[in-house]
Structure 1
Amino acid sequence: MGIRKKTNKNPPVLSHEFVIQNHADIVSCVAMVFLLGLMFEVTSKFAVLFITVQYNVTISTNEGPEETAVNHFHHGIKDLATIFFYMLVAIIMHAIIQEYVLDKINRKKHFSKTKHSKFNESGQLSAFYLFSFGWGTSILLSENFLSNPVSLWEGYPHTLMPFQMKFYFICQLGYWLHALPELYFQKTKKEDIPRQLVYIFLYLVHIAGAYILNLNRLCLVLLVLHYFVELLFHVSRLVYFSNENRQMGFTIWAVLFVLGRLLTLSLSVLTVGFGLATAENQGFDLTAGNFNILFVRITVLAAICLTQAFMMWKFINFQLRRWREHAQAQTLKKKQVPSKSKSKKDKANGVNGVNSHGADSPRARKEKSS
């Protein structure tokens, strides 16, 4: 795949350093095995489980003079194989972006170690958020979820999904699963691992939970909203690293972040607390995919509310830290200005003292003659 990083060192085969340096090539070979499996009849049935989307259901519609067949999909245990394959694809794409884009910028900018790791993180997440936001928005527009908000809960359980929606969720789960081995491949600092594990875990729990509980429509809307706000933050951080005076993006992000939390809570309460609570199809039926009972609704709302509260708490701490650092910087500037003016005044007084009491002054000549 041509992703191997150039290095003068040759670490021992299968050592930690060897795996880290060549992990993209190793993963590419594993993914190629599944692709080659499609070429042979014996292995094609097995390879199809990993590469193609499973659980196809064909529905005939009478729109127009002729019947048309529309393919829809539901979820099942076989999706784990597909998610695993696209997790491998995400690792390969991560390595391509890192080597051919981010590493080249890092070499030009000469960032410090701290900025280097944060720049890589924001660069990777910016690419993912931009792709996911654009793709998710196109699905929302094509399925008319934005123009018809009632469809978020009407007709629940939404067990059948169009191909684009199901593939979107497969890729989302594959990406956030790939972030776990990337902590090892990217040699993430020990102090940064807990923070990254927390947000990876939150993404996986919420996306997988909505996927299993057939709340995919609500999840898609909330993901698109959340990804837009996060995209703005990481783009603002990339701009800040290139020029520390450009901080307007953080101000816009702060406003949109608060609005995003309010919209998330409003849509969640409207869909789960009111829409599903007043729906006709109440009850628990695992076979039909119906989870519309009071306990599940309360659990879903509690998970969303706690997550939003946690994010607001982190946001407030982040803003307080920024204001504190800004105040300290302003205090240092004020202290430096008087000290400089005082030093100039002392220097001027010293010169005047030499002129008034120095060897060439009249007083000095008189004292010398006496």
Structure 2
Amino acid sequence: MTFRKKGSKNPPLLSLEFILQNHADFVACVGMFFVLGLMFEGTAEVSIVFITLQHGVTFPAVEAEAEAETEAERATAPKFLYHYGAKDLATVFFYTLVAIIIHATIQEYVLDRINRRMQFPKQRQGKFYESGQFSVFFLVSCIWGTFILVSENCLSDLTVLWKAHTHNMMTFQVKFFYISQLAYWFHAFPELLFQRSRPQELSQQAVYVGLHLFHIAGAYLLYLNHLGLLLLMMHYFVEFLSHSCDLFYFSDEKFQKEFSLWAIVFILGRLVTLIVSLITAGFQLAGGQNGNSDDSAEDVNVLAAKIAVLSSSCSIQAYVTWNLFNVQLQRWMEEDAPLQAPSVKKKRIKGRFCRKGMENGVATSNRLLDSPQMRKEKSS
């Protein structure tokens, strides 16, 4: 994403330039309409659909405690669960507006100030803004997702990863996390226009955003909430290290060698992601084949879904790893270019020096002294 530079003159009102420069203000006004709608009885019901989570189901406390296996699970058994539905699209739309506002706030009050202080060249400003935005998002998502994994007992009981929640439901924090993730990645599409991405970067950015949307939506719709959450945390942690290293590299190129080890962590993270996907899907495959037919019919983790999860997980890991190699090769070429330029310059200077004192390999100083003009000057 390239740097959105404001011109010295104010653009015409309602022109494309005016909209691009003030898009966050327009989006904030649209979001305020939904918030103000809560104040009036006639519009409160419509605003609630956009602002709050929908498709909630009251779960009986007795049944929730009966299905809990331990005392800790009985104490924390959810009494109100959620499933997905068509109204989630309205909620995703509203939080997409919120993501656009937060994106503009971070860029204006944090990244722009750092850019003015560091004075990055124009060719690096776009990458700096992109890495800065993604670093903040991945860091917040990792902290938030880890808190959910701990509170949902996913790390202490790994069987939760391949078991759907009671009656294919999800808790409030899990659903709100997925809604927020979908909203953020949906907001990335209009940001490609707002940030004036170059045509050669547009397709690559669109594929990157589309892959995240595809996998997050797949985990959300198939009720693979905990498995998808764990895989997202591993993926986001590696991406956070990647973009953080880019920020250090942009600030000073001497960090290139010290922070090149992130590539090893990057590859290890991809391998761990594939291993977790294979283990969880493999265990559930074996359980689904040996289990009862009623349980298999009620479980959304059917054979086709598991194969789709494994194939999609392998495809995105291969795609991201291929991008890693391309970026690393491009950096190596950029590092070799300055080393070759001085050698060419020295050769040219050396050639000029030789032409002044030499001609076809013979010194010209004595020939100039023996010329007829110099002889006349000496005789006079």
1:49-99 CA-partner distances (Å, limit 9, x unpaired): 1111112233415469x9887322221111111111000000010111111
Task: Quote the offset at 1:168 in angstroms.
Answer: 0.6
Indicate the residue corresponding to 1:27 in structure 2: 27
Distance in 2 between residues matched to 1:266 and 1:248, nearest whole Å: 29
Task: Quote the offset at 1:186 in angstroms.
Answer: 1.3
Indicate the residue corresponding to 1:43 in structure 2: 43
Indicate the residue corresponding to 1:120 in structure 2: 129
1:183 corresponds to 2:192: yes
1:271-300 CA-partner distances (Å, limit 9, x unpaired): 1133244233668989x5x33332222122
| Paired residues of 2:95 and 2:183 also in contact (CA < 8 A) | yes
Indicate the residue corresponding to 1:301 in structure 2: 310
Structure 2 gap ranges (5+) = 1-5, 66-70
Distance in 1 between residues matched to 2:280 and 2:353, nearest whole Å: 69
| Paired residues of 2:11 and 2:17 also in contact (CA < 8 A) | no
| Paired residues of 1:90 and 1:174 also in contact (CA < 8 A) | yes
| Paired residues of 2:357 and 2:365 also in contact (CA < 8 A) | no
| Paired residues of 2:188 and 2:209 also in contact (CA < 8 A) | yes
Distance in 1 between residues matched to 2:75 and 2:269, nearest whole Å: 42
Letter in 2 for 1:97: I
Alignment of structure 1 residues 70-85 onto 2, 5 Å: 70=78, 71-85=80-94
Q: Residue 218 of structure 2 is aligned with which of 193, 201, 209?
A: 209
| Paired residues of 2:97 and 2:187 also in contact (CA < 8 A) | yes
Task: Quote the offset at 1:339 in angstroms.
Answer: 8.0
Distance in 1 between residues matched to 2:294 and 2:378, nearest whole Å: 112
**Measured at CA, do residues 259 and 347 of structure 1 come closer, stay the same or move farther in structure 2, by a change above 3 Å?**
farther
Letter in 1 for 2:253: E
Q: Residue 322 of structure 1 is aligned with which of 319, 326, 331?
A: 331
Letter in 1 for 2:277: S
CA RMSD of aligned residues (A): 3.3
Distance in 2 between residues matched to 1:229 and 1:78, nearest whole Å: 33
Task: Quote the offset at 1:354 in angstroms.
Answer: 12
Task: Quote the offset at 1:28 in angstroms.
Answer: 0.7
Matched residue of 1:161: which SS? coil
TM-score, scaled to structure 1: 0.83
1:252 corresponds to 2:261: yes
1:242-269 CA-partner distances (Å, limit 9, x unpaired): 1111114642320111011101110111
**Measured at CA, do residues 187 and 281 of structure 1 come closer, stay the same or move farther in structure 2, by a change above 3 Å?**
farther
Task: Quote the offset at 1:101 in angstroms.
Answer: 1.2
Matched residue of 1:72: which SS? strand
Indicate the residue corresponding to 2:59 in structure 1: 58
Identity between Structure 1 and Structure 2 (%): 47
Q: Residue 236 of structure 1 is aligned with which of 227, 245, 268?
A: 245
Letter in 2 for 1:172: Q
Range with bigger deviation, 140-149 or 45-54? 140-149
**Measured at CA, do residues 67 and 204 of structure 1 come closer, stay the same or move farther in structure 2, by a change above 3 Å?**
closer
**Measured at CA, do residues 195 and 148 of structure 1 come closer, stay the same or move farther in structure 2, by a change above 3 Å?**
same
Letter in 2 for 1:245: K
Distance in 2 between residues matched to 1:109 and 1:368, nearest whole Å: 65
User: For this pair of structures, how many residues does the alignment match?
Assistant: 355
Larger helix share, 1 or 2: 2
Indicate the residue corresponding to 2:271 in structure 1: 262
Q: Residue 165 of structure 1 is aligned with which of 157, 174, 182?
A: 174
Indicate the residue corresponding to 2:230 in structure 1: 221
The answer to which structure, 1 or 2, has the higher relative contact order (CA under 8 A, 6+ apart) is: 2
